[in-house]
């Protein structure tokens, strides 16, 4: 579940529901699953208004490598569908990952998907005794909020999950621990229901950068990503290129006549982004 966000990976195989779910009941999730046809193919049963979603097949092509969080959001959508519609997930999928090698996808006893690396104990994933779920959310003070519910306990096989619902945004999170549910609840309240304390608002700070500067920063990031595929010595050229792009971004930025505050803020953004490992 909590695979590193900067891991590139690919899955081969299918994930299906034990009984297909009628499309008429799952318009939003169906739409969400359709945004990555490069990664997955949806499979259906029936025709016309009686059509149901059987599950997904991976595109099974070499260029279907993607960041693990893209795959993660597909899997979370399938888990949510299964939970809300009382289905059981089944899979025959395997994966390959840039950082974690090969392995198989496993459905745990509470109907969640885990990546089980080669050599790992499959049973530990089945009973949620694995490192996938070991992340412990920081403890937070719970805020009263009329739109965002407190965590509600939901049975998941032998486990208990904790669901938070927002009347405006729907399901905020289904966490495996109550503490995790509180954490995501507070993050949702701050992110979606609190006037932003920053002048930039909820936009990522990088969007506030002038275009030319942002482009150079993105070039630098791309070099760093390319450098990741090589052993440290082989990545030197990429890191040097990234540093050069960053230097150019900094000098570009000086050419803009931005108010003192904005300039300082943007300078800070650039420096923050330039601060990559040597």
Q: Which is nearer to Zn ion, 152 or 254 (CB)?
A: 152
CB of 96 vs Zn ion, minimal distance in Å? 17
Nearer to Zn ion, 78 or 130 (CB): 130
Region 118-137 residues binding Zn ion, contact defined as CB under 5 A? 125, 130, 132
> CB-wise, 120 or 252, nearer to Zn ion?
120
Q: Across-strand partners of 106?
A: 114
Provide, rounded to whole angstroms, the least separation between the CB of residue 134 and Zn ion: 9
Q: Which is nearer to Zn ion, 176 or 246 (CB)?
A: 176
Min CB(166)–Zn ion separation in Å: 3
192 is a contact residue toward Zn ion (CB under 5 A): yes
Strand order in the sheet with 8-12: 66-67, 8-12, 94-97, 101-107, 113-117
Q: Is the dihedral of CA 230, 214, 209, 256 positive or negative?
A: positive
User: Which CB atom, from 169 or from 247, has the smaller least distance to Zn ion?
Assistant: 169
Q: Which two tokens stand for residue 161?
A: 């999950």
Q: What torsion, rounded to 10 degrees, do the Cα atoms 31, 35, 38, 43 define?
A: -10
Question: Min. distance of Cβ 172 from Zn ion in angstroms?
Answer: 6
Residues 156-176, buried b or exposed e (16+ Cβ, 10 A)? beebebbbbbbeeeeebbbbb
User: Which pair of tokens denotes residue 32?
Assistant: 């969400």
State the nearest-atom distance from the C-beta of 3 to Zn ion, in Å. 10
**Applying CB under 5 A, does 185 fall inside the site for Zn ion?**
no
Which residues ranging from 14 to 43 are in contact with Zn ion (CB under 5 A)? Answer: none
Torsion of the alpha carbons at 266, 268, 274 and 276, rounded to the nearest 10: -140
Q: How many residues lie near Zn ion (CB under 5 A)?
A: 8
Order of strands, sheet of 89-91, starting from the edge strand that comes earlier in the sequence? 40-45, 52-58, 14-22, 89-91
Q: Which of 114, 184, 185, 273 binds Zn ion (CB under 5 A)?
A: 114
Tokens of 4: 């590193």
**CA dist 239 to 49, 213, 218, 245, Å?**
54, 18, 13, 10
The residue (of 109 and 271) whose beta carbon lies closer to Zn ion is: 109
Segment 143 to 182, residues that bind Zn ion, using CB under 5 A = 166, 168-169
In the complex, the smallest distance separating the C-beta of residue 122 from Zn ion, rounded to whole angstroms, is: 9
Which residues are near Zn ion by CB under 5 A? 114, 125, 130, 132, 166, 168-169, 192
């Amino acid at each position: 579940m909590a695979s590193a966000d900067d891991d590139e990976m690919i899955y081969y195989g299918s994930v299906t529901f034990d009984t297909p779910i009628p499309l008429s009941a799952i318009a939003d999730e169906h739409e969400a699953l359709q945004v990555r046809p490069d990664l997955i193919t949806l499979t259906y049963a029936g025709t016309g208004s009686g059509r149901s979603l059987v599950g997904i097949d991976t595109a099974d092509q070499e260029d279907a490598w993607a960041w693990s969080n893209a795959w993660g959001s597909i899997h979370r959508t399938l888990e949510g569908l299964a939970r809300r519609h009382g289905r059981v997930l089944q899979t025959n999928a395997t994966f390959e990952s840039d950082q974690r090698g090969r392995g198989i996808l496993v459905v745990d006893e509470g109907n969640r998907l885990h990546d089980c690396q080669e050599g790992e104990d499959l049973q530990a994933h089945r009973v949620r005794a694995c490192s996938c779920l070991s992340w412990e959310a920081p403890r937070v003070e719970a805020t009263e909020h009329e739109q965002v519910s407190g965590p509600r306990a939901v049975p998941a096989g032998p486990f208990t999950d904790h669901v938070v619902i927002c009347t405006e945004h729907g399901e905020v999170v289904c966490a495996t621990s109550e503490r995790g549910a509180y954490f995501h609840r507070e993050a949702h309240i701050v992110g979606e229901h609190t006037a932003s304390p920053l002048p930039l608002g909820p936009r990522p700070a990088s969007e506030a950068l002038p275009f030319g500067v942002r482009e150079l920063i993105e070039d630098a990031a791309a070099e760093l990503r390319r450098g990741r595929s090589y052993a440290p010595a082989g990545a030197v050229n990429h890191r040097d290129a990234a540093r050069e792009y960053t230097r150019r971004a900094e000098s570009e930025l000086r050419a803009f006549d931005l108010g003192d505050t904005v300039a300082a803020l943007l300078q800070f953004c650039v420096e923050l982004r330039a601060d990559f490992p040597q």
